[in-house]
Chain A
């Protein structure tokens, strides 16, 4: 007899790793808020790269962060923005 799933994700098989855009959003969210992080990545991906967030790969990461940098510098200051971008490049796979 099949056991019912008892928790989130159980019985669905292995989860796909988060996309590059998702990982960037997750690292921006504590500073910008979840919704802002999503919107900023989506707008910059579309405007600077002509891509949807799902189409972003590791090679698009630096141009994406360059596109975000102007606004991050404005609202968080150059030092915090630089550290945040470095962290994203270091951690996002």
Chain B
């Protein structure tokens, strides 16, 4: 039941966010609210990842992945705070440069962490209950969608960097990291499918949901999705849901490990 609550929470958060955004009705008040509200899901995401990290012991394979995800989320949280401060007053150029470097590192760390998690697929695949055709189909579809969604942005930012705009390097690295991260959806989804029917599937399912929300975030950003004349922030909705699903995945991972220890006593 508590796993189900973790799965429903991001939907409720998304619904509450959507209602609040509609109630504000666009304009500067919505911009300001969007800028501040991201701090909550970002902090929740970091808390969830740290909860999963501390459930494991030294040497555990997944421990490192959850630590990296937690640090990556904290890095982005710091950047959100910088954006809020920057909105109110100008920051020295050196601060911007430090945060540009931090964002590059965070994007790389995200891909490494997801790569470690995705490597669990090799273990899960030995108990595979998924047809080979499904594996190939899911892998090809996610790689194709990742390229379609984040590919144009990567090419555009590469052109900016090639033209001498070095600030574009962050966005280029971010777009390439997005493509790699989105490609890693398939091993996570397949792990969740292979483990279905037991509590251990939940962290993988919720992590997959988080990545699917990031995919929708990238799609919304790339296509410039807006709803209505007041420019409802669809991207921010998906970002908030991705982070609250990450929170759920981290807590579910902790519950699974703690439950196993309790059962073993």
List the interface of chain A (C-beta within 8 A of B): 27, 29-37, 39-40, 43, 47, 70-71, 73-81, 83-84, 86-87
Contacts and interface: CB of A to CB of B under 8 A. Distances in A.
B57 interface: yes
Contact of A33 (B56, B126, B198): B198
B261 interface: yes
Most buried by A among B124, B126, B198: B198
Given A80-B261, A83-B261, A33 B197 contact: yes
B20 interface: no
Contact of B261 (A47, A70, A75, A79): A79
Given A74-B120, A84-B263, 20 more contacts: A31-B200, A32-B198, A33-B195, A33-B198, A33-B201, A34-B198, A35-B198, A70-B123, A71-B124, A73-B61, A75-B62, A77-B56, A78-B59, A80-B260, A80-B261, A80-B264, A83-B261, A83-B264, A84-B264, A87-B265
B264 A36 contact: no
Given A34-B197, A83-B265, A75 B120 contact: yes
B127 A77 contact: no
B265 A76 contact: no
A73 B60 contact: yes
Q: Is the interface of A mostly helix, strand, loop or mixed?
A: helix
A77 B200 CA distance: 12
Contacts of B123: 70-71, 74-75
Interface residues on B, range: 20 to 34
Given A83-B261, A84-B264, A87-B264, A76 B198 contact: no
Contact of B263 (A30, A34, A39, A78): A30
Contact of A71 (B59, B127, B198, B261): B127
Given A32-B198, A36-B198, A78-B57, A43 B126 contact: yes
Contacts of B60: 73, 77-79
Contacts of A71: 123-124, 126-127
B57 A79 contact: yes
A72 to B, nearest CB: 8
Contacts of A76: 200, 256-257, 260
Contacts of A43: 126-127
The 4 closest A-B pairs by CB, nearest first: A33-B198, A83-B264, A80-B260, A33-B197
A69 to B, nearest CB: 11
A29 B200 CA distance: 11
A27 B263 CA distance: 8
Nearest to B56: A77
A70 to B, nearest CB: 7
A39 B120 CA distance: 17
Interface in B201-218: 201
Interface string B225-265: 00000000000000000000000000000001101110111
